Structure 1
Amino acid sequence: MESTSFLYKLRVEGVLDEELISPLEPVPVDDDTKALIEAFGEVTKKYPPKELDKLGAVPEEGLEMMRKAGFFGMTIPKEYGGAGLTFRSYLALVEQVAAKDIALALVSLAHLSIGLEGIILFGTKEQKERYLRPAASGEMIFAYALTEPDTGSDAQHINTSVTLSEDGGHYILNGRKTYITNGNYAGGYTVFAKVEGGKEGEMVALIVERGWEGVEVGADLDKMGIKASSTTPIKFDNVKVPVENLLGKEGEGFKIAMTILNYGRLAVASAGVGLMKRSIEDMRARASKRIQFGVPIIDFELIKEKIAKARVHSFAAESMVWATAGQLDRDPTANAAMETSHCKLYSTTKTWETLYDAQQVAGGSGYLATAPYERRLRDWRVATIFEGTTEIHSIYPALFAARAVSRELPKGKWEALKYLLLHAFRYPKEGSWPSHPALKRTLLTAKTLGRRFRFGFYYALMRHGKKLPMKEIYLRKLAWLSLGEFAIRTALIRAGKNPTREEIDLITYLREDAVAETSCLAADKREKLLHRLGK
């Protein structure tokens, strides 16, 4: 039976189980983690972000420094030569290194979070022995190859295909991939392909080595940002892949791909948290020193607002990441797609806002290429595109829940309608309430958001049925209702029974933020206007 997560149980089963995401406490930073952070700092000293941005690649000496420091084996189990970090410990480190230089950090992050995660989660003992050891040392860097020229978000309908050889010993792989992060750094790829002649959407996940005949990696693509990261197209021309390199079972490729992306989304979200925290420091420093009209600009409310919002957003994003990563540490294949989608959507969009605000606070000097702001904005822009676009994550959670609910619907039109009506008004009772009045009001808001999601979700299933995927404005509102509740609940759990004054203030502001995000023009009215104005 497939393992469920906090939001799956809440949205699909109507069960509130906060034990799945409790407690939420900071991960202790041990000496090994400190050493990794310091080692990354040494690489950025030798190859500053601005220099790597101009070079457009990480020199081999820089990659070797990362190898020696152990950056390519952080999450790989110790038995295969890695550091064996828990996922939460790894994400805490991601925060730190992304704040220094996300383009450089992405080399190891793409390798670990998505490139070889499939081998860790689904690989056989033989596959792990063969590939994880060279991966841990950095001898063989990995990449994740799913996206194609004609299929991005619609990953279930890729064109790259495999056929089984006559002797049954190999898969014959043909097709093209594109926008592959680590493309030219990698020596191995986790490749996804449809099964030729199989059912629609039936896919396989394969471990493919770069040195095999028929694997052709293109030149690095010229990008807006993250220029030091290698991004390439890849062509597979009758590549013979041993059947021993199949991950999981034939037909499980799509499920494996989506499970891996849970880890990639959280890594991106954590990188965003790190950049938001760095931006808060920059805004405070700049605003404290910059004098206008006889006072530091940090005394002005519109500057305070930018800093306050960044603090709230980083706190909320980090709380959701902690809760979700904790579930994956306990159950690595937990069905946490809704949580990771919320984390990715919230962190990437709020980080973009924060980076924009940091540049605003810097004023004219922030517009100069000598300052870090324009590079950070260029580097971060892709975060709202890869690992699922902002638009996809604005509709995905409700559609994910809809597919799960559809599997539970009884047969028969009236029986199904009765089931939907019954569940539309079912909402679990609260376990305990905070003692502080402001936090009580905040929890009440979370419950209200949850009820609004539940009624709106089941109403949409009854009204739109199979046409629901096309009701994107409505789905987006459902996503932010769900996200708002999740953000508040994780923040309250993090604060615990004895919250600090700072935590109370942050959560109170988060409540106002969540209400504002979901108090917009009615979805139906907005949809009608879009049909007239969006042409």
Structure 2
Amino acid sequence: MGFSSKAVIPFSEPPWLLGLPSPYYNESHHAFQPRCREFIQKHLLDNALEWDREEFIPEHVFESFAKANMLLPSFGAPLPVEWLRKLDIHDILGVRVEDWDYIHTAIYCDEMARSGLAGPGASLTTGMSFGVPPIYKFGSREVQEKFLPELLTGKKRTCIAITEPGAGSDVANIQTTAVKTKDGKHYIVNGSKKWITNGIWSDYSTMAVRTGGPGPSGLSMLVVPLKGYPGVNMRRLKVGGQITGGTTFIDLEDVKVPVENLIGQEGMGMKYVMQNFNHERLTISIGGTRQARVALSTAFEYVMKREAFSKTLIEQPVVRHRLAKAGAELESLQAWVDSFVYQMTKLTKTEADLELGGLTALVKAKAGMVFDECARCSILLFGGNGYTKSGMGELAERIYREVPGMRIPGGSEDVMLDLAIRQLVKNYQNKTKALERPKGSSKL
């Protein structure tokens, strides 16, 4: 790919899409990206802002993505190749499912966020991204046979339900209970789940429940039926941004769930949840980087046209200074995210969880900070237009409302910062201990 001859608004595209050299992207990635962009533009982004105003994405959009296998990229990499072949799914827009890597996933996440809004994309992908992987990775063959065929093909929808009114980032404090019946055939689930993206539309939920005593060892994961199921009541929550994502409050009262719906083993839920978080946090970082790019480039375009004090805003040093500070943060983040994603293609799942677990939390936190900086820069440069919910500054205003939705869900920012350092210290101490000479040994 050569340099772009087209005049492109500064900061509007990552360097590799401008034709600048990159060691990460191969021919398959370069071929997939324009096909991915064309599909998402036509089926989602052309109407994303309008649908965001209406606070609802039409059902036919989900169906179009499912039919084209374009929900599957959000699953992550590697894809569940064995299952996809069984379902006669062999490629995604020309990329063979066995050749799919995390860079393909990153391209998809980047393109899905190119409206600058997280809600439209999240309305389609959250279930596949975070609800389906635990079933595939940790579920028994029977659980997989029961749920994966309809979920992977988009015939049924699911969500991930962890957060509760009294337990968000503090996963170990989850209170929703799942108690076995005397005959051992069912769990009776009671409790509440809050801020559950896609919940209102979901047939099932991959849910964290308490099957044992207090603390992390008492947690398990269970596939709980939702839509229209006895004892389940759901209502949409109106949140500040990402309104089209279908944020939901779920109330569970004596919900009868077959024991066969248990994912993996009882008491292992904390492990399953935490491993799932790594994928969630990285994809949030990728999408947030693109949202920051949309915010900053939209402001850049505006200040080159808008006049004040007999000159365009871009001629004002203070405006250039503000753009420069935000732009430096953005491109630094992009470089980190790109290298991070590349590392995911070279490490095994075990290696990535060990070496990148804490850093995934850190890159998610940093992406939220950079998004905040770029969104604030945008809204300030738009001035009064950026404070207005219509007109030329509407997108900047909407993007600014999206910032908390990146800094809080998937692990609140302050928790992520602390988690990152604790994990890095733990890894260092474990490696240092492994190098210590055993007591009584004469070996050098």
Normalised-by-shorter TM-score class? 0.7 to 0.9
The letter of the residue matching 1:61 is H
1:358 matched to 2:378: yes
Report the residue type matching 1:142 in the other structure.
T
Structure 2 CA distance for partners of 1:405 and 1:32, relative to 1, 3 Å: closer
Distance 1:24 1:217, change over 3 A: farther
- Among 381, 400, 404, the residue aligned to 1:377: 400
1:107 corresponds to which residue?
123
Give SS of 1:386's match: coil
Cα distance in 2 between the residues matched to 1:116 and 1:288: 45
1:93 CA drift (Å): 1.6
Aligned counterparts of 1:161 and 1:406: Cα–Cα separation in 2: 36
Q: Pairwise mapping of residues 162-241 of structure 1 onto structure 2 (< 5 A)?
A: 162-197=178-213, 201-210=217-226, 213-241=229-257
Pairing 1:77–2:97 present = no
TM-score, normalised to structure 2's length?
Answer: 0.79
Assess, with a 3 A threshold, how the Cα gap between structure 1 residues 217 and 63 changes in structure 2: closer, same or farther. Answer: farther
Q: Amino acid of the residue matched to residue 29 of structure 1?
A: H
Residue 86 of structure 1, CA deviation: 2.3
Aligned amino acid, residue 66 of structure 1 = F
Structure 2: how far apart are the matches of 1:300 and 1:307? Answer: 11
Tell me the secondary structure at the aligned position of residue 289 of structure 1.
coil
Q: Which residue of 1 aligns with 2:348?
A: 331
Mapped contact 1:341–1:393 kept (Cα < 8 A) = yes
Equivalent position SS for 2:167: coil
Normalised by the size of structure 1, how large is the TM-score?
Answer: 0.66
Counterpart in the other structure of 1:87: 102
Shift of 1:348: 0.8
Q: Is the 8 A contact 1:219 1:232 kept in 2?
A: yes
Letter in 1 for 2:411: G
Q: Judging changes above 3 Å, is the alpha-carbon distance between structure 1 residues 281 and 245 closer, same or farther for their aligned structure 2 residues?
A: same
Alignment of 1:236-315 (within 5 A): 236-315=252-331
Deviations 1:19-39 (A, max 9, x none): xxxx96236535555333322
Percent of pairs with identical residues: 23
Change (3 A) 1:24 1:125: farther
SS for the counterpart of 2:349 is coil
Alignment check: 8 A CA contact 1:73 1:135 kept: no
Size of the alignment, in residue pairs? 390
User: CA, structure 1 residues 31+107, in 2 after alignment: closer, same or farther (shift >3 Å)?
Assistant: farther
Q: Does the C-alpha gap of structure 1 residues 269 and 408 become closer, same or farther in structure 2, counting only changes over 3 Å?
A: closer
Mapped partners of 1:318, 1:135: distance in 2: 32
AA of the residue aligned to 2:407: T
Counting only pairs closer than 5 Å after superposition, residues 29-48 of structure 1 correspond to structure 2 as 29-44=29-44, 47-48=47-48
Q: In the aligned structure 2, how far is the partner of 1:174 from the partner of 1:183? A: 17
Rounded to whole Å, the distance in 1 between the matches of 2:416 and 2:214 is 29
| 2-structure distance, mates of 1:245, 1:328 | 31
Q: Does the 8 Å CA contact 1:189/1:209 hold for their aligned counterparts?
A: yes
Tell me, in whole angstroms, the C-alpha distance in 2 between the residues paired with 1:77 and 1:148. 30
Indicate conservation of the 8 Å contact 1:57/1:228, yes or no.
yes
Q: Secondary structure at the match of 2:195?
A: strand
State the alpha-carbon separation in 2 of the partners of residues 48 and 212 from structure 1.
29
Q: What residue in structure 2 maps to residue 342 of structure 1?
A: 362
Q: Residues 320, 243 of structure 1: CA spacing in aligned structure 2 closer, same or farther, 3 A cutoff? A: farther
Question: 1:488-503 alignment to 2 at 5 Å?
Answer: none
Deviation at 1:175, TM superposition (A): 1.7
Partner SS state of residue 235, structure 1? strand
CA apart distance, 1:73: 1.9
Per the TM alignment, residue 325 of structure 1 is displaced from its structure 2 partner at its CA by 3.2
Do residues 64 (structure 1) and 32 (structure 2) align? no
Instruction: Specify the alignment match of 1:472 in structure 2.
Output: none
CA contact (8 A) 2:128 2:152 kept: no
Q: Is the CA contact (8 Å cut-off) linking 2:45 and 2:114 kept in structure 1?
A: no
Cα deviation, 1:405-448, whole Å, max 9, x if unaligned, reads: 777898xxxxx9xxxxxxxxxxxxxxxxxxxxxxxxxxxxxxxx
Question: Which residue is 1:394 aligned to?
Answer: 417
Q: Is the alpha carbon distance of 1:213 and 1:289 closer, same or farther for their aligned partners in structure 2, counting shifts above 3 Å?
A: closer
Q: By how many angstroms is 1:268 displaced?
A: 1.1
- Counterpart of 1:151 in structure 2 is 167
Is the alpha carbon distance of 1:86 and 1:107 closer, same or farther for their aligned partners in structure 2, counting shifts above 3 Å? farther
**Compared CA separation, residues 322 and 242, structure 1 to 2 (3 A):** farther
Per the alignment, residue 15 of structure 2 pairs with: none
Which amino acid is 1:71 matched to? M
Would the aligned equivalents of 1:52 and 1:227 in 2 still touch at CA under 8 Å? no
Instruction: Classify the secondary structure of the residue corresponding to 2:199.
Output: coil
Give the corresponding residue for 1:450. Answer: none
Q: Contact 2:199/2:246 (CA < 8 Å) preserved in 1?
A: yes
8 Å Cα contact 1:24-1:322 kept in structure 2:
no
Distance in 2 of aligned mates of 1:183 and 1:42: 26
SS at match of 2:196: strand
Q: Deviations over 1:53-78 (max 9, x none)?
A: 33222222333233334332223434
| Unaligned stretches of 5+ residues in structure 2 | 1-21, 437-444
Structure 1 residues 336-389: Cα deviation after superposition (integer angstroms, max 9, x where no partner)? 321111111100111011011012222333332222111111123211111111
- The match for 1:140 among 126, 140, 156 is 156
Indicate conservation of the 8 Å contact 1:24/1:319, yes or no: no
Please say if residues 24 and 342 of structure 2, whose CA atoms lie closer than 8 Å, have aligned partners that are also in contact. Answer: no
* Contact 1:71–1:108 under 8 Å retained in 2: no
**Aligned-partner SS, 1:26:** coil
Cα deviation digits, residues 77-102 of structure 1 (max 9, x gap):
34425644423311222112212132
Q: SS of the residue aligned with 1:94?
A: helix
Aligned residue for 1:372, secondary structure, equals helix
C-alpha offsets along residues 223-255 of structure 1, whole Å, 9 cap, x if unaligned? 222111111111233333333332232221111
Q: How far does the alpha carbon of each residue in 1:457-495 deviate from its partner, in whole angstroms, 9 at most, with x for none?
A: xxxxxxxxxxxxxxxxxxxxxxxxxxxxxxxxxxxxxxx
**For residue 54 of structure 1, what is the aligned residue in structure 2?**
53
Unaligned runs of 5+ in 1: 1-22, 411-415, 417-535
Alignment-mate amino acid for residue 114 of structure 2: A
